[in-house]
A and B are shown apart, each in its own frame.
Chain A
């Protein structure tokens, strides 16, 4: 027999305590009496009626002793090795929260590993061992291993992820493994506080620690040439005073001390007064909490990357000014197609002059309806001043909040597009600005009115609209820059890309294949990733993105969950025998309660 929780034997200290209590209680007060004759006679008569009266107190004492011993046994969780043997299937939670350190320097995952190594010793020739590593994409770490060394080799290879735990998939794998076994038992080592079911016993590693999690970051540019950077911080497990720092492009610029209520998301707002844009904003905390991986959060691609543009226009003033205001633009302006090089640009703008063949290696903006891209035709032309209005059904960030109350467009043509074309602006019922992603992956937007026939370039909305469309349309390797570990980032391989690299957090780089249009990158680490594309022309582009711990993994305090081991197996495959002790102790307690009830009814 083995005891899974030997500290339960501390309860045996109750035995000497009980004895001391009995010694103290058994002290008698001296009382002189005339004679004890009748008292002795009464005890004789009592003994005749209740023969066990004499040993009643002794019995109660021994029952109390026995109860303490039994309860200490229950607490110590006695177990013996399963008699018949069985195949062991272990699902090991490898999610980010398992990297939490509750006490000492050992993570929950390491504790689970050491438990697994003990369990692996019981692997026999007849009984196999299967380990399923339950991260975002659960896999068999070892399947039906028959020797301890096989299991240990597998255990040495596995590591904990920074992602979530796909329990459903892991259970399916466990079910598949169990199908090949006559007598399999499934154990789930986790810290998520799942309850055991009939066939799965759960070992919970959560100890309700304190964890501060940075859960989000947003940036807003204000009119006063300053930025409001708002972070979301939550202190799980207890209320805490936390200092949150802000870094812009790896340069610490500000810090704030805030009080975080327990388990409640708190906003921390930094107001940065500077006109210059930055690439990456990052908030961070320097504290020793349970999980370190969620102590920073970054916002990437805060400004437009450098790009090259070709403007073909006879009157380029309005567009040229707008592009210059956008910044980071290497602009080539030409007044005719003959002088234009329709290759190697990130953005092509055709203002009233449209080519027969549109370029395929950059975003396209077309002003005019002479030669429309595929899937788009021009309808009725109008010649009356009309206020444009935004298509509210379109989900473009840049068009939200735009108001054209003071804008009038005089000459315009209705655009009629296929389903891939989305209207952005209407004049009356006629779509005058539509956009679509062309088959080559490039974004194409068509304005069916002449800027010179409207007062739009004189309005404030002009720059916002144009810059919004350009930013949206510029070819980008990543549409999203905020990922969760476990997700897959899809990197679009831009035209002209000769080489593509990805930089992982920790500064390791890897070259990616450029043979496919989209390159999937599985995210397994927390931090800022960089994707660099180099062109044959020796220049190139790069983009960053951030991968954070899944939000559900940050809240790794699972104290509210109750873990109930329903089957008779202990966590390391031992047959637990504490049930019988518990019920015995309960029975004795009931007897004692009855006895005490009788005693007090006699006494009072």
Chain B
């Protein structure tokens, strides 16, 4: 059985105002013990997954490239010795443009990294500063060039819209810049204000001036409308790729493929159960030190939850839910469970059916959460 491996590196030079992922800034002294713990966890988890093969490996964060290359090398080497990594595996590392140089990229290539996901977000430096990024547009351009120079062909950029002070012109400029760099993959994320982040407090106090709903929608329309004609197919609700450059690892999340997440706060999906690791690097290190696994069951798996997740994850993909696959997995036709929801979404133009697949329309993608909620029983 094929599976994916996710490795979480929680360290950052600085935490961005909007970020609510598990990450730590200014805890460099914890890097060494954390990497030791990761290596130990991978060894233990590799034994459990012995009979399968890892088709994808994804190092995310935080900022994986905040680690000195020496430590990141140890992590990648340990992954190779702990898991049976397929010969043609997709190995992705997330990078912050301000933390890499040609040497770093070359080292990654040597370690077998096949794909870089670069957190560009924007190409306007004043917006980048405002949202707490440590890099500039120039850094992004350099990072892409160095990756190419080092021989990493498959490069993805993250772009954000709906940022404070951002206009449609900024978004147009971002898309143009990404085209100039000839990347193969683009992820598009709208800014969401998450509880507990600095942005949440600033939004409440009025310090944060966000684009209006209409402006933000224009940006969304531009991005989702422009990228496909430029050759980037929207294969998932927020991901666009040139043919053959879709992220195999992320597709795994959406298509019921098992994955092992290692590191603090990492999520796993194994044997139909979902687990999360303890969301605290110090506790994580301590737990591994005691020879225990830091994973806890997120909740008791139920048939209801499994159906809900299956549907809203599959709907993220352009192809949608394969009705036969649903029936095969759950023993009942999808209409029996979700007949009303499906009809209602179809009536409102959010969902369409073709060749045995139920998929979101453009309107449905735009109202993704509305459609997903309809599949919560």
A joins B in a complex: no
